[in-house]
Chain A
Amino acid sequence: MLFPTVEYALFFLIVLAIAWSLYRFPLYHKSFLLLASYVFYGFWNWSYVPLLFGISLFSGLVAQRIQRSTDRKQRKRWLIGGATACLATLGYYKYTGFLLLNLLALWGRFAKPPAIPVDSPLLPLGVSFFVFHAISLLMDCYRGKVKEPVQLGDALLYVAFFPQLIAGPILRASRFLPQLAKSRDPNKVRVNRAFLLIVGGLFKKVVISNMLATRLVEPVFAVPQSYGGLDTLLAVYGYAAQIYCDFSGYTDIAMGCALLLGYRFPRNFNAPYTSTSPQEFWRRWHISLSTWLRDYLYFPLGGSRKGGARTAINLMITMLLGGLWHGAAWTFVAWGGLHGALLVIHRFWSRIGWTPLLRWRATIAWKWTARILLFHAVCAGWVFFRASSFEIAFSVFSRLATAGPATLAATPVCIVLFLGLAGQFAPTRWRNGLELEMGRWPALARGAALAVALTVIEILGPTGVAPFIYFQF
C-alpha cells in the first residue's frame, strides 16, 4: 500500500478514528496500532509478516535480557548475539546473491566455478529499516538510554509502526519508547503541521519526483549514449532533485501521519543541497540514517578520537558500509566511498589554518562556491547510485562532455526541476507562518483547503503511482 493512493487514505482514516477512540485504553490503543501495522505490511506480502514479527519479538526479548543483566560482559554478549542475528537476517535476504556472485567471480580466477543452483531470497519490503530499528533497540538498552523496562508490546510496535515501517525515518528506541509509555493527549495534536507535511510530501512525490523520473531521469540513465551533454546534465540534476523529493516526500508524509496519531518522528531532511561541506550535508540528508551510522558504527570504531589516519579509516568504513546498506551492488559501495573520500578530504581541508584562507572561507562568495562544488560532488555520487552498472555510470559521465541539444528540457520538466532544487532555499519561517495562519481558520475551512491542495496534486501528477525509491532498500 503506497502513501499516495486512495487505498492508503481510506486505511489511514479508519486507523486514525479507531486509534483515537481507544486513546483512554493504552493497551488496546497500542495493540490496535500494532495490528494495523501488520495489516499495512501484509498488503504487500503476508508471508513476510512472521519475519517482521519474529525480528521485533527477538529484539524485544534480547533487549529485556540486556536490561535485566547486571554483569557488563553478559550484557555485551547479549548485545553482540542479538545484533549479529539481526544483521545475519539482513545479510541473508539482501546480500546472498551479491556474495554468491562475487565469490564465484573470485573462484573463476583460479578454476571454472560451479553453476549457482539456488535462487536468492526475495527481498522483504523495508527489511533494512526494521532490522536497523531492532538494532537500535538493543544498542540503546545496552547503553542505558532506555530508562524504563522494555515492554514486549512496545518493542513490537516500535519496530513495526506503519508510518515508518517501509522507508523510515529510523526511529531511536530511546526516543520513541517513552512516547509509547505515555498516554496520548487528545488536546495536543499538531493538526496544521501534519496537514502541511502531508501536502508537501505528496507534492514532492507525486508531482516533482514522478515527473522527473519518467520524463528526464529514466530515459537518460537507460540509454545515455542517445543523449547529449545538456540532456545528461539535466538528468543528473534531475535525479538529485528526484531522490530528494521522493525520499523526503515519503518521510514528510510519514511524519504527518504520525503527528495526527499523536506521535512525533525526528526530522529526516533539512534542505541538504544548501550545505557547504560534506559534514553539513550528512547532518541534513537522511539524518536518521547518518546519526544511526555515527552512533552505532563510527563511534564504536573509535570515531575521531584516535588520530587523523584512524579517523579517515573510520569515516571510509562507515560510508562504505552505509553505501552497501543501500543496495547489494558495487555501485552503491562506490557511492559510499565517494562520500567517505569527501568527508576525509574536507576534514583535512578544514584543518588548514592559513590566515588568508580562513578569511576567504568566511566570505559569502566562498560559501556559494563551496555549496556549488559540493552539490556537484553529490551529483557525481548520485550517478553511481542511480546507474545499474559502472558501465552506465561512466557512460553518463562521458556524455556530459558531448555536445547535443536539450531534447528533454520541456517547460514542465524545467519547472519541477527548479522547484525540487530551489525549494530547499525557501525559508522555514514561511511554513511556520502558514501553520500559524491556518490556526486562525475554522476547522472545516482547513479541511477544505486540504482537499483543494490534494485535488491540485492529483491533477498535476502523472498517471499511475511509482513506488518510492527507498522501498528497494
Chain B
Amino acid sequence: MQTMTHSIRQMFLALAGCAVATLLLESGGLASWAHHLELGPLRTVAVPVTERVERALRPLGMAALREEALESLARVGWSDDPALLAMVSAPSAMPNRSGCATEAAPAGLGSAAGALAKGASFPSPAQHNGFLNAAGAQAPLATGVPRVTVLAPLPPIEPGKQRVVALAGDSMMAVGLSATLMRQVAGNGHLRIVKTFRSGTGLARPEVFNWMDEYPAMLGAEKPEVVIVAIGANDAQGFVVDGKVLAFASDAWEKVYQQRVASYLAMVSAGGARVVWMGLPPMRIPVYDEKMATLNRICYTVVSQSPQAVWWNPTPFVGDEAGRYREYLTLANGRSMRIRAADGIHLSDEGAGLLTPVLLKWLDPPPPAVASAQTAPVASAPPAAPVARPKRHSKRAARG
C-alpha cells in the first residue's frame, strides 16, 4: 500500500527542488518583489541578490515568458492594472512610457510592475524634465498649513450636462470618503464620478505604483472638470533616487517629494480641471501624525502655487478643538458617532459624511431661488491666516 507520509529528507529535497524551480521561473518576479520592499536591511540584501540572479537567468527567457503571460492575461481582461491594460490595448497611446526613466528602476524586471518602473516619469534632480517647472515644484516650503480654506465657486453646470468629478488618491480616498461621496451623488443627474484612486499607493514609490502612468490609464477618455485628491498616507518612507537612499523628511527627500507632488498636480489639473487637494487628517499615533504634518506642509506649498488648485484642510471637521486626532464626535443633537476607522488612520463613513456635504454643495450648488448667496465662497469655518500645526504636549494629552 502506498504511504501518505514521507521523511523530512524527502520534504527538504522537495523544497530544494521548489526553490530552484522558483528561481528559474520567478527570477523576474523576485527582483520586482525586492524593489517593492520598504527601505531597510531586507531590501538592502534582497535587491542586489535578486538582480544578480535575474541577470544570470535572463538568457533562459523565463522572465520574458512571464511578462508575455502577464500581457496575454491583460489582453483577455484578467489584469487589474489600468496602465498595463491600456498598454496592451493601445501601446502607442500610453503616456510617458518611453524615454524619461529616472528612478532607480530594477534592471530587467520581468513583471508588469517592473515594466512600469522602467517607464517611471517622475523627475529626479539629475534628469529633470519639464515637470520641474510645474507650479510649486521649487517653492520654499511653508511653515504651516491653513486651518480653514475657501472653495471658490465653480461655474454653474450647463443645462442638460453633467459635471465630471474625478476622485483621486490612495486609501485616504478609497476608504470612507469615496464611497460616502458616491452614495450621496447616486441619483444626482448633475454630477458624474470617475474613480481614479487605489489603496496602498502614493507618490513616494513610483517603482511600486506609478501614478504618472496609472492616472491617465484610469481616466481613459474622461475629461474631469473637478478632481478631488486625497493622497499621501503611505508616503512617510524613504526612497531611492539615482541609487541614493533619501531618508524621509531629509532636505533632499523633501525636494524630490515636492517635485513629485507638483508633477502629479500638473497631471491631474491638465485640461483645466479644478483640483481640491484634501490634506491628511490628524492621526492617532503621534509619531505618524508628525510625519503627516510634514507631508501636509509639502503638499500645501505646491498646491498653493497653482491657480487651479486649493488645499483643503479636513481638520476642522474631524479634529478636536486644538486640531488633534479624535475618534468620537458628539453632534449638537446629542448623537455620538465614531468618525475614524479602527486603524486610527482612515475616516469612517460617518467621519467622511462630515466632509461630503461641503464638497457636494460646492460641486452642485443649489439653484439661486433656493440659495440666494450661491456665488459666495463655500467655507467650513471663519477664514483664518495660515497657522502652524499645534504641537503635541504629550502622548497622553494627544489621546485625551
A-side residues, CB < 8 A to B, are 6-7, 13, 16-17, 20, 97, 100-101, 104-105, 108, 112-120, 122-123, 186-193, 195, 211, 214-215, 222-223, 225-226, 260, 388-389, 410-412, 435-436, 439-440, 443-448, 450-452, 454-455, 458-460, 462-464, 472
Contact = CB atoms under 8 A, between A and B. Distances in A.
12 contacts: A6-B33, A105-B335, A119-B399, A222-B183, A225-B187, A443-B6, A443-B13, A450-B17, A450-B21, A451-B22, A455-B25, A459-B73
B78 A446 contact: no
A447 B344 contact: no
A435 B199 CA distance: 39
B26 to A, nearest CB: 6
A179 B148 CA distance: 63
Contacts of A117: 400
Contact of A186 (B7, B199, B338): B7
Given A454-B22, A463-B80, 4 more contacts: A117-B400, A187-B6, A190-B5, A458-B26
B337 interface: yes
A263 B243 CA distance: 46
A436 B334 contact: no
B25 A451 contact: yes
A191 B328 contact: no
Nearest to B5: A188
B6 A113 contact: no
Nearest to A122: B344
A451 B17 contact: yes
Contact of A440 (B2, B25, B187, B284): B2
Interface in B72-96: 73, 76-81
Contact of B182 (A226, A447, A459): A226
Interface string B3-47: 111111011111111111110111001100100000000100000
B179 A223 contact: yes
Contacts of B113: 463
B336 A105 contact: yes
Interface string B97-122: 00000000000000011000000000
B336 A112 contact: no
A351 B348 CA distance: 46
B142 interface: no
Contacts of B183: 222-223, 225
* Nearest 6 pairs of A and B residues by beta carbon: A447-B17, A451-B21, A225-B186, A447-B18, A444-B17, A443-B13
Interface residues of B, number: 65
Given A13-B15, A447-B16, A116 B336 contact: yes
B17 to A, nearest CB: 3
B207 interface: no
Contacts of B22: 451, 454-455
A411 to B, nearest CB: 6
A445 B17 contact: yes
B342 A122 contact: yes
A389 B349 contact: yes
A335 to B, nearest CB: 18
B258 interface: no
Contacts of A120: 327
B63 to A, nearest CB: 12
Interface string B311-327: 00000000000000111
B2 A439 contact: yes
B17 A388 contact: no
Contacts of B194: none
Contacts of A436: 2, 4
Nearest to B26: A455
B69 interface: yes
Contact of B178 (A222, A458, A462, A464): A222
